[in-house]
Chain A
Amino acid sequence: MTIKASEIKVGDTFEEVLVEDLKRTQLVMYSGTSGDYNPLHTDDVYCREAAGYPGVFAHGMLTMGMTGRVVTNLFGAENVKKYGVRFTNQVWPGDDLKGAAVIEDIRQEGGETLVDLKITTTNQNGDVVVTGNATGRVDA
């Protein structure tokens, strides 16, 4: 269910489990749909023996995509006006990720009711992997 301006207030927080025990197969799925076939995300041998990483890690855009579900569940995909993130830590197979959105502002602009969100995604250790902001249209 998407949110309505009349049902929310600044400071309200919405949390969502984005993934539990992230699987390498999901990294492969995301490579396939996005077209980002960087072997850093699919090829453990390449990562360990050629690139100097302990193994494959998630595409930043996969983490952003999963985090975006918090935004689209609140606004509906058709109502998202802005969505941006910074990638602050890598995400690894086996990670559990939780996304949180805090209502920062509810405002009128151009005849629309807009809501600004501050977004944070954390892993099972409490490390922040993504921070960001989003703006969407809501019903009054």
Chain B
Amino acid sequence: MTDEKTITMPVEATHIMMFRRSIGDFSVDDTGLEDAAAPPTFPQSVAQFDKDYFLRIKPGEAWFGSGKNPSGVEGQAASSGGLHAEQHFEFERPIRPGDVLSVVTKPGKTWEKESKRAGKLMFSERITEYRDQNGELVCTARGVGVKTERPVDQG
């Protein structure tokens, strides 16, 4: 698997403002928006700038989600790419409005584990580097995803 494309992520004050509201962070009043550093989990919203991102609707393609029927993509696995097991961010400096980040994701390690609540668990790691307009590393993110054999037992 290789997905070493570069995504360009322009960082905008309004996007950070909306992101902050969505996580219930009201620590910055609206007058301080232009300078305020982004919250540490903001880099994940690079998904907005990935033209191939599989969790966003694309014109002319079937998309999962209920409409006329429950799944929207009959005949395909109901699992929509698995669950998130771990996420880590490391910053060389804060991300601020006006930054234009170049973002590259590389696959990392993969491993398996048995669980009582969801059967076989298949873990995979993804390492994402965010570099600024000067080519300097700003943030490194490491995500671990897990695909489960069956939905997680809620018992």
Residues on A facing B (Cβ under 8 Å): 18-19, 26, 29-30, 32-40, 42-43, 45-46, 48-54, 59-62, 64-66, 68-69, 71-73, 76-87, 90, 134
A49-B70, A72-B25 as given contacts; A77 in contact with B47, CB under 8 Å: no
Q: Please list the 7 inter-chain residue pairs (A to B) with the smallest Cβ-Cβ separation, ordered nearest first.
A: A84-B88, A35-B47, A65-B23, A49-B70, A50-B71, A45-B66, A60-B84
Asked if B6 lies at the interface with its beta carbon under 8 angstroms from chain A, I say no
Residue of B23, B50, B72, B154 near A68 (CB, 8 A) is: B23
Chain B residues closer than 8 Å to A50, beta-carbon distance: 64, 66, 70-72, 78
- Residues of A within 8 Å of B57, CB to CB, are 37
Residues of the A chain whose Cβ atoms lie less than 8 Å from the Cβ of B50: 35
Binary flags per residue of B1-38, CB closer than 8 Å to A gives 1, else 0: 00000000000000100110111110100000000111
A87 B84 Cβ-Cβ under 8 A: yes
On whether the beta carbons of B80 and A78 are closer than 8 Å, the reply is: no
Contact B39 A33 (CB under 8 A): no
Q: Which of B41, B86, B150 contacts A87 (CB 8 A)?
A: B86
- Establish whether residues A65 and B80, one from each chain, have CB atoms under 8 Å apart when the complex forms: no
Contact (Cβ within 8 A) B23 A30: yes
Residues on A with C-beta less than 8 A from B80 are 38-40, 51
Q: Which residues of B contact A78 (CB under 8 A)?
A: 37, 94
Chain B contributes a number of interface residues (CB within 8 A of A) equal to 50
Interface check B45, CB cutoff 8 A: yes
Residues of A within 8 A of B71 (CB): 46, 49-51
CB nearest to A134 among chain B residues: B40
Contact B22 A81 (CB under 8 A): no
Please determine whether A66 and B84 come into contact, CB atoms closer than 8 angstroms.
no
Residue with the highest number of chain A CB atoms closer than 10 Å, among B65, B85, B154: B65
- The answer to whether A68 and B39 touch across the interface, beta carbons within 8 angstroms, is yes
**Contact of B55 with A65 in the complex, beta carbons under 8 Å:** no
In the complex, the chain A residue whose C-beta lies closest to that of B38 is A77
Q: Residue on B with the closest CB to A53? A: B151
Q: CB < 8 Å: which of A33, A39, A53 contacts B22?
A: A33
A82 touches B88 (CB 8 A): yes
Q: Give complex CA distance A33, B24 in Å.
A: 12
> CA–CA, A49 to B39, complex, Å?
35
A42 to B55, CA, bound (A): 12
Give CA–CA (A43, B57) in the complex, Å: 14
Contact residues in B for A36 (Cβ distance below 8 Å): 44, 47, 55
